Chain A
Amino acid sequence: MKEFMTGNHAVARAVRLCRTPLIAAYPITPQTPIYEKLSEWEASGELKGIMMRTESEHSAMAACIAASLTGVRTFTATSSQGIALMHEMLHFAAGCRVPVVMANVNRLLAAPWGFWADQLDSLSQRDTGWIQLYCENGQESLDTVIQAYKIAEQVYLPVMLSLEAFFVSHFMEVVDLPEQERVDRFLPPIDLPHKFDIDKPGFLVPVVSSELYRKYKHMAQISVDSVKEIAVRVDQEFKKEFGRGYGIIEPVMLDDAEVVIVTAGSITSTARLAIKDLRKQGNKIGLLKLRLFRPFPVEAVRVALRGKKKIAVIDRNISLGCGGIFCQELRAALVHSPDHPLTYSYIAGIGGTDVTPEVIQKIALDVMSKNEPTDAPIWVMEDY
């Protein structure tokens, strides 16, 4: 069944389809419609779970962790300052190995204050041990929630999916809604092994020795690495069931491409259009969409970019003092490949500024005209 809806409502619909029994959240623009929609359904009885209205995002995550430890599926949604406040609990969630699923609507971080799309909020949390997936549109956001549970519940790690403020969260698109029975089949009820048992009371997060701490971190690293395979498998299973798949990365017209534009999130949609026009003009250009960010799909990226001459990474984020974060990760992934392509870093779309097909074409022409990449990123402004 197809419906016209916003990215936020697509996420809410996915949570309902996953029969999540405990949702703990705190409202924040531009995530609030997810919270509101789930609340509406709770009031009408259409949502079988409980909406727990906590006093902060920090508490929302604490509630999700605790609920997850009783063995149930949990969900929260947040954005920007909310995920920043949640930071401490994000480490706890990963460390406690709880399969919490969270939707983060990418919004810039203050100061200065604003509400616009920017990926820095979720990228700032890259070292917390959460699995991160970046979604291009409403359909992908809905599908990724369902996939996220399936991944999380196999590795006992929390999963965060990101969709950009307004460009995805508030734009209405046609979304194909999966049938409930199919979702139920894809995502059967869970039974987590490390749930609390009231007959055998215990407590989590005890003080451990240095060696034990190292042991658990190492175990977690092995688990996180396994996600690269698990996420691919889950996506394939999903495609089999629902007819749609995304991969952990998506190569677009890469086979004969010499220059590759790399994007994540909604800019990918625009880039698809831009490279079509560039191709018509005779340019050997392709596109690589990054979907899985943590763990970073090093091997897949290496294979996809093998033999390419130049790549231009477009980042809607900036790690001040270094550069675009996707670009850093990409450069690190390619460093062991012999004759790897030259990587050019472009900062575009920061603070929700529009990245039009013309901007992407401008970037493509710029990268094709250059022979030597610079270490510092290139800011794409109106007068560039």
Chain B
Amino acid sequence: MEIEYDFSSELAIPISYGSSEVIETGKWGFEKPETAFLTAPCQEACPAGNPIPQFLYLAGEGRCEEALETILKENPFPGVCGRVCFHPCEKDCHRGQYDEAVSINAMERYVFDVTSNHHPDIHPISNADSKRVAVVGSGPAGLSAAYFLRLLGYRVTLFEARKALGGVMRWGIPEYRLPKSILKKEIERILQLSIDVKTGVRVGKEIPFEELDQFDAFFLSPGAGLSLSLGIEGEDLKKVWRGGGFLDRINSGDKPRIGKEIIVIGGGNTAMDVARSALRLGSRVIVAYRRTRAEMPAIQDEIHEAEEEGVRFEFLLLPVKISLLKNRRIRVKFQRMRIRGRDQSNRPKANPIKGEYLTLEADGFIKAVGEGVDLSWIPGNISKNGLIDVNSSLTTSNPKIFAGGDAIDQPRAIVTAIASGKKAAISIDLYFRGCMSEDGFSKIRVGNKGALSMATYLSGKDGGNGSEPKDVISYPQINTLYFEHSKRIEMRKQDRNKALKGFSEVNLGLTSDEARISTSRCFSCGTCNYCYNCYFFCPEGVISLDPLHQTKTVDLDHCKGCGTCAKVCPRYVVLMKELS
């Protein structure tokens, strides 16, 4: 090391005019900071592994188009999920332990809504060995599988029995929750990837199942649209509607005449959709459920909104008989129930109270108690217990047949269906490349709850560095001293009276100010959001940050390894690693 001094006798002190950078103070250290992103709990909880902290950061910076593209790497349906997802992400949000969870669901919708004119830059990777894959059914699982298979470079043919695509998103969810225009936009974006679409083609009817054999692999996602019988007297009466059928008619633009007073049976999201749709047709609605409110599987917000809109709930009631009265009304006899013990799936079990009954009268009865999978067109050897039977890689007993969505044994939700479409696409790729193994999935897992990352998979596949799975950040690892308490922001809603007059969307989304506040509330657990704490606190001034390109560099020649950056990082992104 050489430093130039000025020792002239004029001066009583030495001054150096050379740069002190020649002294490589970095060699003094025993530790070096490493930027190690960890998986946020929201991301782990999301079945689709949505990179939530990343997209919230970009949205917070006003970079919504990049935020959209970030989500699209893992989920082709931000507009749909931003509206109808049961958002387990918010339940696990670390901010929820501090004050209230971040409005992640509303933000996903916001990102989609404000980028409606943007054409995101998504394109398939080049795949010389372009095999052909058939996808049967165009619900969230089928469309996601088609989307991710295209990203992986395969040729995809999509078979849909009905005249329009979307499955449960198109025919099951009412317009006031998910406008058709939103769904249309999402599907159009997916189809831009060049997918061969065959609508009005029911496999097993218009074409035989065997015809799928010409494809190198196929993915079955027919959904669950088969009416299940309650097995009670009077179930076949004309005044008894099937929930799915009722919603299908509404979503086809019909206004079925169901009568002034309606009893809806069920406690899931279908029951809530049915009840709230019936309200919009002018009916008074009672929802009868055999367990209590606490056991209702529907999204809490949906239950709350149904109640707010005027749906009456009756709990611990099991219908046992429906009879037609002379005045053309119906009478429903309910067995009173109570909660005792737990069933095989560990849910509280409803047991009848001997001899206690209740009778209600109404003009119509809608059963929304879950539906079955039509397996009539499928070879018997790939089904089991009324579902398509798959292993953990979503493969059936036939190695070239894969399945997902509501037709397999998994929670019935849009986002889980999307997740199964993604997993199947990866599975099919592994199958084609002859390297199917559990390890293939564990390397791309997002946390430990089953979510997978397509972005990580692609980075490994494309000759890039498929990074190892990251740990999930725990709440104590967040330095909450850096955050002020603040209130969560909820979406504004349409005026109730106006909302009940039709099927226009109830939730109105966030304003840009509300979105800004919502993103600023995110702890960005384990993900750098360029807060500049490390930069400001670094005593050596050796940290450079580039938020635009999302890079961070440390001048290791001059970093003494003091660890200040790691201590002041609010989100546990900087970890000190001992030098060997």
Q: Which residues of chain A have a CB within 8 Å of any CB of chain B?
A: 95-97, 156, 193-194, 200-204, 206-208, 212, 216, 219-220, 223
Chain B nearest CB, measured from A77 CB (Å): 25
Most A CB atoms within 10 A — which of B3, B11, B12, B20?
Answer: B12
Q: Digitize B152-192: 1 where CB-to-A-CB distance is under 8 Å, 0 elsewhere.
A: 00000000000000000000000000000000000000000
Q: Which 3 A-B pairs have the closest CB atoms?
A: A206-B16, A97-B12, A202-B17
Partner among A194, A200, A201 whose Cβ is within 8 Å of the Cβ of B13: A194
Residues from chain B with a CB closer than 8 A to the CB of A220 are 12
| CA A49 to CA B13, docked complex, whole Å | 27
Which B residues between 1 and 37 are near A, CB-CB below 8 angstroms? 3, 5-7, 10-17, 20, 23
CA distance A206 to B12 in the complex (A): 14
Name which of A193, A202, A204, A223 has the most chain B CB atoms within 10 A of its CB. A202
Number of A-B contacts (CB under 8 A): 44
Where the two chains meet, the residues of B that have a C-beta atom closer than 8 Å to any C-beta of A are: 3, 5-7, 10-17, 20, 23
The smallest beta-carbon distance between A159 and chain B, in angstroms, is: 15
Q: Say whether A216 contacts B13, CB under 8 Å.
A: yes
**Interface contact A204-B12, CB-CB below 8 Å:** no
Chain B residues touching A, majority SS: loop
Query: Which residues of the partner chain A approach B23 to less than 8 Å between Cβ atoms?
Result: 207
Residues of B within 8 A of A212 (CB): 5, 7, 14
The contact of A156 among B6, B12, B20, by CB within 8 Å, is B12
Question: Are B14 and A208 in contact (CB-based, < 8 A)?
Answer: yes
A287–B385 Cα distance when bound, in Å, is: 113
23 CB contacts below 8 A, A to B, read: A97-B13, A156-B12, A193-B11, A194-B11, A194-B13, A194-B15, A202-B6, A202-B15, A203-B20, A204-B13, A204-B14, A204-B15, A204-B16, A206-B5, A206-B14, A206-B15, A206-B20, A207-B3, A208-B5, A208-B14, A212-B7, A216-B12, A220-B12
Cβ-defined contact, A193 with B10, below 8 A:
yes
Of B7, B11, B12, B16, the contact of A203 (CB 8 Å cutoff): B16
Given A97-B13, A156-B12, 14 new contacts (CB under 8 A): A96-B13, A193-B11, A194-B15, A200-B17, A202-B16, A203-B20, A204-B13, A204-B14, A204-B16, A206-B5, A206-B15, A208-B5, A208-B14, A220-B12
Bound-complex Cα distance A200 to B7 (A): 16
Q: Give the CA-CA distance A202 to B11 in the complex, in Å.
A: 14
- B23: nearest chain-A partner, CB-CB: A207
Q: Which residue of A lies closest to B3 (CB)?
A: A206
In the complex, which residues of chain A have a beta carbon less than 8 angstroms from the beta carbon of B17? 200-202
Shortest distance between the CB of A197 and any CB in chain B (Å):
10
**Considering the chains assembled together, what is the distance between the CA atoms of A194 and B15 in angstroms?**
9
Residue of A whose beta carbon sits closest to that of B12: A97
Complex Cα–Cα for A196 and B23 (A): 22
Supposing A203-B20, A206-B3 touch, asked if A216 and B10 sit within 8 A by C-beta, the answer is no
CA gap between A96 and B6 in the complex, in Å = 14
**Complex-state Cα separation, A212 to B11, whole angstroms:** 13
A219 in contact with B12 (CB, 8 Å): yes
